Amino acid sequence: MQASPRWRDGRFHNTRPVTPGLQGHRLELLGEYVRGGQVRRPQGPLPLEDPREAWARPAESGLRITWLGHSTLLLELDGVRLLTDPVFGQRASPFGFGGPARFHPAPVPLEALGRLDAVLVSHDHYDHLCMQTVHALARRGVPFVTALGVGAHLEAFGVDPARITELDWWEEAFVADGRLRLTATPAQHFSGRGMRDRNRTLWASWSLRSERHHVFFSGDTGLTPEFEEIGARLDRFDVVMLEIGAFHPAWGGIHLGPQNALAAHAMLGSGALLPVHWGTFTLGTHAWNEPAETLVTLAQQRDVRLLTPRLGRAFEPSRVEGIDPWWRTVAARSRRGSGGVPALPAGAAHPGAGAVPVHRQGL
């Protein structure tokens, strides 16, 4: 850690100065939390699919993705199975009795995931690193790959130190007998699980490359020019997974949100865009479905190919045409039940408007 170019004065630092977005905005944000009329939780159950039948068959294209909620994905790249930022607990919080609670259960229980070749942890925040989940995965003896310093948390949660690989930006590791290469790439964020451990561990985005496929996983990040360097140094991506939820103008340096996710996608230079980090926890002041609606509207204007799978759907990106605006059914049900209309961003397509092509998938 101390040898890292990002480490000085006992902490990790972004390439350029960034402060977590509460400074100077505390009263504004508090007012939005108290007065905001947005529907921050869905008023009914979200549609979940069970992917186990699909998982039992090899992916015909070699690349299959299952979004399990928030930033938890099961990635299958040419037979290698990797789990990202696994959070199967009920709350993204240090407390079992309080903090952001899930909108929905995990589409499958943790023990039903089947064989895992590796687990990737982008950074140490509670909505990306869940102690109970890691305890369970540690008993399976699965290898973990993560950013510098996060291994201390993993070891404390029961992971064998010999199964932990920690990387600085632009360092690489191989899993599954060398069949998958993971590269830690720059991100613009912060870390810490308590008031006194701010930035004592590193945060990263990630490139994952198998024999025939290449994907990008953002972890948590603000918009940074370093995405251009990532796009220039690494080959073309098949899919780019970028965070879009829990956004606010005050957080632009540490979270993307829909508009900056599209900017980051353009800087990376290739790949279908799969939005993550939304639809599971209330971590911002916006309506729960606003990130998806905003992204759909802006992506249409910029002719960006979006992937919007239902939670738990095991899909092969090369076989998806159009999007599945599944959240609109939930939002419409909420309006009928409450008599209100969830707040949407200016210019966003109204739920049910049918302004985008419907998802069609072959397996």
pLDDT score of 363: 21
Query: What CATH number has the domain spanning 19-361?
Result: 3.60.15.10
Would you state the pLDDT for residue 362? 26
Phi-psi map region of 281: left, alpha, beta (phi>0 left; psi -120 to 50 alpha): beta
Q: Could you state, in order of their start, the residue ranges of all structural domains in the chain?
A: 19-361
> For 119-124, what is the mean pLDDT?
98
pLDDT of residue 352: 28
Residue 339: is its pLDDT beyond 70? no
Supply the angle between the helices 226-233 and 257-268 in degrees, to the nearest 10.
Answer: 40
Residues 6+ apart with CB under 8 A from 46: 103, 104, 279, 311, 326, 327, 330
Residue 133 confidence (pLDDT): 98
Question: Please, which residues have CB within 8 angstroms of residue 291's CB and are 6 or more apart in sequence?
Answer: 244, 245, 247, 257, 258, 275, 278
Whole-angstrom distance, CA of residue 217 vs CA of residue 354: 29
Whether the pLDDT of residue 202 is over 70: the answer is: yes
Which pLDDT score is estimated for 340?
39
At 27, the pLDDT band (50, 70, 90 cuts) reads very low
pLDDT 10s digits, 215-224: 999 999 999 9
The model's confidence at residue 297, banded by pLDDT at 50, 70 and 90, is very high
Is pLDDT above 90 for 85? yes
Mean pLDDT of the chain: 88
Residue 69 neighbours by CB under 8 Å, 6+ apart = 87, 102, 104, 106, 107, 279, 280, 311
Cα distance between residue 198 and residue 188, in whole Å? 14
Q: Region 270-277: what's the mean pLDDT?
A: 97
pLDDT value at position 208? 98
Q: Return the closest-CA partner of residue 242 out of 221, 270, 213.
A: 221
- pLDDT band at residue 267 using 50, 70 and 90 as cut-offs: very high
22 vs 16: CA distance, rounded Å: 18
Residue 359 confidence (pLDDT): 30
Quick one: pLDDT at residue 330?
A: 87
What's the mean pLDDT in 286-315?
96
Please determine, for residue 281, whether its predicted confidence score (pLDDT) is greater than 60: yes
User: What is the model's pTM?
Assistant: 0.89
- Give percent of the chain with pLDDT exceeding 90: 77
pLDDT in the model for residue 160: 98
Q: Using 50, 70 and 90 to split pLDDT, how confident is the model at 285?
A: confident
| Amino acid making up residue 37 | G
* Confidence band of 306 (pLDDT split at 50, 70, 90): very high
Q: 333 falls in which pLDDT band (50, 70, 90)?
A: low
The stretch 70-89 carries a mean pLDDT of: 98
pLDDT of residue 76: 98
